[in-house]
Structure 1
Amino acid sequence: MGRLVDLEERTERVLERTWLARELRDTIGHALTIAVVQAGAARAAGAAGTREFPERALAAMKDTGREALSELDRVLRLLREDADPMAQRSTLAHAGRLVESARGAGAEVAARIGGDLDAGPGPVSREGYRMLQECFTNVLRHAGSVRVSVRIEVFDGLLELEVHDRQPAESGGSRGGSGLREGAVLLGGAAAYGPYDGMWRVHVTLPLR
């Protein structure tokens, strides 16, 4: 019996560290993608003699870098201490931060939010935030500074997340997305992604109960 308990505890620690690794990858990957896109756009704007955008891009890079450093510190602290890994994780209540970050990188984001984002359980809201973060990272990495449409709605016991943007130039292009699908399935929901009506579409539904 003691060996079984030890095995379960070791398994929990491995799973927790796996989650932390994914969290760190997503956060740092998002910050670096934003910084690379912003730096490229700022350089092009500077070469064209435009001063306003480079200054705005540099300010956004500073804010994104500061958030990434804060997240890195949080994850490292969790690895060193016996702390709650869910503590201080961002939720969909902070979705505006991601929207502004993408806009700072030059993307034209139209966001529509409906319903009470605080109505759902913590795991759903936290995973929804992570999914939106991954969507923005993939948009900027594969499509660049394009027009993006985001819809987040809570209704009839469901959280629905939908993101549209320009379809990848390559035929049948893919941006991954297995992480989105895995996260949705773990929470009893579903995620679909791919070309849709001439655009690239991500559609996620998560049950709130």
Structure 2
Amino acid sequence: MHRHVTRPTAWWPSRARPLPAGRPPFTRTVVTDAVLAAVFFAVMLVELLGPDGPADSGTTTRAVLICAAVAGPLASRRTAPLASYLVGTAALSVEALWGLENTVSPYANLIGLYSLGLHASRIRAWCGPFAAFLGMIAYFTGQEQRPSWSAVPAGVLFLWLLVWAIGFGSARRLEERDATQLRLRSEVVAGERARMAREVHDLIGHTVNVMLVQAGATRRLLSRDPERAREVLAQLEDSGREALEELDRVLGLLRHTATSPSVQPGLGDLSRLTSRMEQAGITVATRVEPGGAELPGSIDMSAYRIVQEALTNTVKHARAETADVTVRRVGDLLDIEVSDDGHGAGNGYAPGRGLLGIAERVSILGGRLEHGQGEHGGFRLRVRLPLR
């Protein structure tokens, strides 16, 4: 059996910043950097072994080793950028102190400094300017002419720091882009989870509440009216079967492998919804005025879910006998009103999950939601959804 061991988080960041999405694979980058190091080493050898190269073999051997120490770290400029740059800078300083300057060596070091700013973690990347400053002191101190700190060394230092800043700034922009993508991905996942929760809540909450009312009615009818109790049990069975079918449809849509029809419910299904409510003992009067049924798919489904959840709340909380549902199109708005004759909302009532789910749907569609005590008692909910 394997155990999951939680390791403490190190205070010192990793050697290199992880490659963002879309960057070349790790193996390809390693091979590319190895080739880059080999090319620099070869060019430095050509420069070293030219007509102006050292005369004795001992000096040549040391120069070759220094060339390898300057160019070799480029092979790990992405995987270990700080160590790579420090080794290269130290080798460049030794090269200058020993009087074995190679005109190609500073360019290899410049690439190492750029790579440090681009690929190292934020804290390690900040070691670059300090290492560049110390290396610059050693490099110009070791030159034969030993110039004073004049415009030439200052200009070179400025160039080195500018190259580091370009790499560092690019890395931060990549980090910001990756963080934005991750945040957007998290928002999409959270939104999808909320949508799934709303769908399952609307489906299960409505049907289970209706079934509970039917089960309670059956219990009361068993002793005095068995025939009516059997009818209610048959309705309870039908409600459960419809709930399973709709739940299978919702789960199929979420998996994108639905075997049942993927048609979303809409205002055209209100008659089936009201018949369920009548089975639960509530008479529902529904009015869908002309033009209210010809709606975009998302508006049509959301309107149905809003009415469904409002009627579910009527069953759960209102103790009502009748409810009225009115859907009408007013210009570019869809007006939905659901009211009942129940005991209404008390002072300071807090919306539950049902009303919060309706509010989320309305907010996504850019609409307005009002709910509270009705003019003649009971509870009243009104929603206005823009159609454009």
Relative to the length of structure 2, the TM-score reads 0.48
Structure with greater proportional helix content: 2
Question: C-alpha displacement at 1:35, in angstroms?
Answer: 0.4
Partners of 2:332 and 2:230 lie apart in 1 by 43
1:51 to 227, 244, 251: 227
What is aligned with 1:134? 309
The answer on whether the counterparts of 1:41 and 1:106 sit within 8 Å (CA) in structure 2 is no
Partners of 2:350 and 2:235 lie apart in 1 by 28
* Equivalent residue letter for 1:203: R
* Equivalent residue letter for 2:214: Q
Q: Please, which runs of 5 or more residues in structure 2 have no aligned partner?
A: 1-19, 22-177
> Does residue 354 of structure 2 align to residue 179 of structure 1?
no
RMSD: 2.5
The 5-angstrom pairing of residues 164-175 of structure 1 reads 164-168=339-343, 171-172=346-347, 173=349
SS in 2 for 1:88: coil
Partners of 1:110 and 1:39 lie apart in 2 by 24
> Does residue 208 of structure 2 align to residue 32 of structure 1?
yes
What is aligned with 1:21? 197
Question: C-alpha displacement at 1:28, in angstroms?
Answer: 0.6
Question: C-alpha displacement at 1:82, in angstroms?
Answer: 6.8
The answer on whether the counterparts of 1:107 and 1:144 sit within 8 Å (CA) in structure 2 is no
SS in 2 for 1:73: helix
> Does residue 319 of structure 2 align to residue 144 of structure 1?
yes
What is aligned with 1:123? 298
Partners of 1:47 and 1:175 lie apart in 2 by 38
* Equivalent residue letter for 2:385: L
The answer on whether the counterparts of 1:181 and 1:192 sit within 8 Å (CA) in structure 2 is no
Partners of 2:274 and 2:239 lie apart in 1 by 12
The answer on whether the counterparts of 1:159 and 1:206 sit within 8 Å (CA) in structure 2 is yes
The 5-angstrom pairing of residues 37-116 of structure 1 reads 37-49=213-225, 51-52=227-228, 54-81=229-256, 87-116=262-291
Deviates more, 1:195-204 or 1:163-172: 163-172
* Equivalent residue letter for 2:382: H
Partners of 2:185 and 2:350 lie apart in 1 by 38
The 3 A distance-change label for structure 1 pair 55 and 151 is farther
The answer on whether the counterparts of 1:152 and 1:161 sit within 8 Å (CA) in structure 2 is yes
SS in 2 for 1:110: strand
* Equivalent residue letter for 1:191: L
Question: C-alpha displacement at 1:170, in angstroms?
Answer: 7.2
Deviates more, 1:27-36 or 1:146-155: 146-155
The 3 A distance-change label for structure 1 pair 170 and 132 is closer
SS in 1 for 2:370: strand
The 3 A distance-change label for structure 1 pair 171 and 22 is closer
Of structures 1 and 2, the one with the larger relative CO (CA 8 A, separation 6+) is: 1
Deviating beyond 4 angstroms after TM superposition, the runs of 4 or more aligned structure 1 residues are: 4-7
Q: What percentage of aligned pairs have identical amino acids?
A: 35
Question: C-alpha displacement at 1:157, in angstroms?
Answer: 2.1
The answer on whether the counterparts of 2:319 and 2:343 sit within 8 Å (CA) in structure 1 is no
The answer on whether the counterparts of 1:195 and 1:201 sit within 8 Å (CA) in structure 2 is yes
The answer on whether the counterparts of 1:153 and 1:160 sit within 8 Å (CA) in structure 2 is yes
Q: Highest Rg: 1 or 2?
A: 2
> Does residue 343 of structure 2 align to residue 202 of structure 1?
no
* Equivalent residue letter for 1:185: S
The answer on whether the counterparts of 1:105 and 1:145 sit within 8 Å (CA) in structure 2 is no
SS in 2 for 1:51: helix
Partners of 2:305 and 2:345 lie apart in 1 by 26
Q: Please, which runs of 5 or more residues in structure 1 have no aligned partner?
A: none
The 3 A distance-change label for structure 1 pair 82 and 8 is farther
Partners of 2:339 and 2:191 lie apart in 1 by 32
* Equivalent residue letter for 2:386: P
Question: C-alpha displacement at 1:9, in angstroms?
Answer: 4.1
The answer on whether the counterparts of 2:288 and 2:328 sit within 8 Å (CA) in structure 1 is yes
The 3 A distance-change label for structure 1 pair 56 and 151 is farther
SS in 1 for 2:311: helix
Equivalenced residue count is 205
What is aligned with 2:53? none
